[in-house]
Amino acid sequence: MKKRVLVLVSVVLVLAFASTAFAADVTVRITGLESGGEVRAALFASAADYDADRRAGVVAAAAIGDVVELVFSDVSPGTYGISVFLDMNANEELDKNFLRIPKERYGFSNNARGRFGPPDFEAFSFEVTDESLTIEIELR
């Protein structure tokens, strides 16, 4: 019985460490800021998640100075995309005018741009491996 419990505990520990052993930190370096407001970044794990606005993670920080770094911790390997905006009025939404044009500064990983609206997920997606990486996004 003791041997069985020891084996079970060992398996649980191996699985617990294995799931985090391949996770990486993704640092987002955001430039082109104005002081004031809050920078909000969303991490999307797939095109379907992006289309449905299902965020794998959201991080935020006060916009102080012209560069802010945010970190998504323990991101599993895979394909992801990041969208960022400067929330000047703290309503946690990208404000748009009556034509649906953003009134607040925004950006996407790979500094992707869409023609008539936001870019497709494929345009701003990138690969995460087991190594940490830094993504730079310039707001416009």
pLDDT, tens digit, 9 for 90 and up, residues 77-90: 999 999 999 999 99
The values of phi and psi at residue 124, to 5°, are -115, 15
Which domains are delineated in the chain?
23-138 (2.60.40)
Give the pair of three-digit tokens for residue 87.
């929330």
The pTM for the full model equals 0.83
The values of phi and psi at residue 10, to 5°, are -60, -45
Express each pLDDT in 64-80 by its tens digit.
988 999 999 999 999 99
**CA–CA distances in Å: residue 113 to residues 20, 36, 124, 129, 137:** 33, 24, 8, 25, 11
